[in-house]
C-alpha cells in the first residue's frame, strides 16, 4: 500500500510535534511544509525537528502548497483571531485546500462546523465536493475531552440531566510566547488584557460552542444558546515561565465558562481554567480534566494529568489521518470517524 502523502501547514508548538510524528511513521510520506517564520524558509523539514535530511524544503508560498500533490494537510496555524482577523480567514484557507483535492485535518476549530450556521457548512461542503475531499477538526479540548468523552460516557446512562466538563491547564512550560502572551494574555496588565482579549474571547466562545452543540445534537437536545463568561487573576509576585516573565500585578490565570442553555437552564457546562504557573496561581482547580454526568447513574471521570498537551493534540490529529483520507467527501466530525488510536505505535520492553 502506498504511503499517505502529508503536508504540514505551520510548524509552531503543535505543528513541530506533528511534523516529527509524520517523519517517524513509515505509512506516512511528507509532501510539503508551509512555514510562517522567515528564518525557516528554505530549510529542510528534518532540520526543524532535529531529524535527518528529508529532501522536503520549507516554504511560505501558499500557492506552491496548493499545487503540491498530497492526500492530507495537517492544518495547524495560529487561529486567525491572533492576527485580529475574522474566523472566516481560516475557513477560506481550508476551503482552498479542500478544493484542490486534499483532505484537511485542522486544529483551528471546525470540530462541528454546523454551529457556525448553514452558510459555513455549505461553503465547506462545496469545497469538499469540488475536490472530492474531507474536513476534520480535532484537538484535545475541544476535540476529545469536551465532546468525545462525554458522549462515550453517555452510553452508560439511562437519563442525562446535565453534563459538566472542566479543563485546568498549566502553561508554565509552554514555549510559545505567541500563544501564552499574545493570545491568552498572560503577563499583560489588567487594562491591556481586557482590551486585547476581545478577539480571543470571540474565538473561544465559537470554539467551545462547537463542542456544546455537537454533544447536544448527538443526544437529541436543542440548545437555545451558548452563554459565555470569563474572569482573570493577577499575580501576587513576579515569576518566570517558559514564555517570559510574569510580573506582580499582571494577569497570571483566567477562567472561562461556556453554558449550553435550554429554557435558561444549563444542559452542558464547559469550564476552562488557564494558569501561567499552577504553583503560583492557587485560585481555581489544579491542572487536569474532569467530566461529570448528572443523571442515572451519576458519573465522574477525572484525568489528573496530561503531561504534554501539545504532543497529545498533535498525536490526535496525526492518528486521524488514515480515517480521514479513506472517508467519504464532506465534513467529518468525531461522530463520523472511528476513534483514532495508537495502533502500531505500542512499544513493549
Express each pLDDT in 282-329 by its tens digit: 999 999 999 999 999 999 999 988 888 889 999 999 999 999 999 999
Q: What's the rounded Cα separation, in Å, for the pair 225 and 206? A: 12
Contacts of residue 72, Cβ cutoff 8 Å, sequence gap at least 6: 4, 5, 6, 7, 102, 103, 104, 105, 321, 324, 325
Structural domains counted in the chain: 2
Task: Determine phi and psi for 98, rounding to 5 degrees.
Answer: -60, -40
Q: Is 337 inside any structural domain?
A: no
Residue 199 has pLDDT above 90, yes or no: no
Whether residue 91 contacts residue 24, with contact meaning beta carbons closer than 8 Å, is answered with no
β-bridge partners, 299: 293
Q: What's the rounded Cα separation, in Å, for the pair 182 and 196? A: 8
Q: Tell me the three state secondary structure of residue 151.
A: helix
Are 174 and 266 part of one and the same domain?
A: yes
Are 200 and 290 part of one and the same domain?
A: yes
Q: Is 347 inside any structural domain?
A: no
Pairing of strands 4-9, 28-34: parallel
Q: Tell me the three state secondary structure of residue 226.
A: strand
Quick one: pLDDT at residue 86? 66
Q: What's the rounded Cα separation, in Å, for the pair 181 and 244? A: 8
Q: Tell me the three state secondary structure of residue 221.
A: coil
Are 131 and 182 part of one and the same domain?
A: no
Q: Is 41 inside any structural domain?
A: yes
pLDDT band of 115, cuts 50, 70, 90: very high
- Domain, as residue range, for 167: 148-305
Q: Is 181 inside any structural domain?
A: yes
Cα 134 from chain centre? 17
The residue behind cell 505509512 is 27
pLDDT, tens digit, 9 for 90 and up, residues 148-191:
999 999 999 999 999 999 999 999 999 889 889 988 999 999 99
pLDDT, tens digit, 9 for 90 and up, residues 126-137:
999 999 999 999
Residue 37: CATH number of its domain? 3.40.50.720
Q: What's the rounded Cα separation, in Å, for the pair 127 and 95? A: 5
Question: What is the number of helices (H) and of strands (E) in the chain?
Answer: 11, 15
Q: Is 186 inside any structural domain?
A: yes
Average of per-residue pLDDT across 242-267: 96
Quick one: pLDDT at residue 14? 94
Are 104 and 31 part of one and the same domain?
A: yes
Maximal C-alpha separation, the chain: 58
Are 238 and 116 part of one and the same domain?
A: no
The residue behind cell 511528507 is 30
Cell for 182? 499574545
Task: Please state, in angstroms and as integers, the Cα–Cα distance from residue 103 to each residue in 19, 97, 119, 314, following that order.
Answer: 17, 8, 20, 17
Are 20 and 154 part of one and the same domain?
A: no
Round the average pLDDT of the chain to a whole number and report it. 93
Amino acid at each position: 500500500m502506498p504511503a499517505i502523502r502529508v503536508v504540514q501547514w505551520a510548524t509552531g508548538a503543535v505543528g513541530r510535534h506533528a511534523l516529527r510524528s509524520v517523519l517517524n511513521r513509515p505509512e506516512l510520506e511528507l509532501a510539503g511544509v508551509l512555514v510562517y517564520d522567515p528564518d525557516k524558509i528554505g530549510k529542510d523539514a528534518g532540520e526543524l525537528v532535529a531529524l535527518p535530511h528529508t529532501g522536503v524544503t520549507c516554504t511560505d508560498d501558499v500557492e506552491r502548497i496548493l499545487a503540491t500533490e498530497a492526500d492530507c494537510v495537517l492544518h495547524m496555524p495560529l487561529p486567525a483571531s491572533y492576527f485580529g482577523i475574522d474566523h472566516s480567514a481560516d475557513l477560506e484557507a481550508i476551503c482552498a485546500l479542500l478544493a484542490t483535492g486534499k483532505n484537511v485535518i485542522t486544529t483551528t476549530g471546525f470540530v462541528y462546523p454546523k454551529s457556525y450556521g448553514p452558510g459555513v457548512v455549505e461553503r465547506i461542503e462545496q469545497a469538499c465536493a469540488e475536490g472530492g475531499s474531507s474536513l476534520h477538526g480535532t484537538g484535545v479540548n475541544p476535540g476529545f475531552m469536551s465532546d468525545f468523552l462525554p458522549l462515550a460516557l453517555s452510553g452508560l446512562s439511562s437519563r442525562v440531566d446535565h453534563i459538566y466538563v472542566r479543563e485546568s491547564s498549566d502553561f508554565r512550560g509552554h514555549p510559545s510566547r505567541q500563544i501564552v502572551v499574545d493570545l491568552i494574555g498572560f503577563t499583560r496588565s489588567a487594562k491591556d488584557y481586557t482590551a486585547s482579549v476581545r478577539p480571543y474571547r470571540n474565538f473561544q466562545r465559537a470554539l467551545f460552542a462547537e463542542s456544546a452543540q455537537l454533544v447536544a445534537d448527538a443526544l437529541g437536545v436543542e440548545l437555545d444558546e451558548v452563554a459565555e463568561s470569563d474572569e482573570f487573576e493577577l499575580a501576587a509576585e513576579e515569576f518566570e515561565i517558559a514564555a517570559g516573565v510574569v510580573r506582580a500585578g499582571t494577569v497570571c490565570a483566567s477562567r472561562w465558562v461556556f453554558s449550553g442553555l435550554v429554557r435558561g437552564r444549563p444542559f452542558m457546562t464547559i469550564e476552562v481554567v488557564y494558569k501561567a504557573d499552577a504553583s503560583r496561581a492557587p485560585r481555581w482547580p489544579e491542572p487536569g480534566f474532569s467530566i461529570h454526568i448528572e443523571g442515572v447513574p451519576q458519573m465522574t471521570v477525572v484525568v489528573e494529568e496530561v503531561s504534554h498537551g501539545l504532543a497529545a493534540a498533535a498525536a490526535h490529529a496525526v492518528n486521524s489521518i488514515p480515517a480521514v483520507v479513506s472517508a467519504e467527501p464532506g465534513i467529518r466530525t468525531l461522530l463520523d470517524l472511528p476513534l483514532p488510536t495508537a495502533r502500531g505505535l505500542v512499544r513493549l520492553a
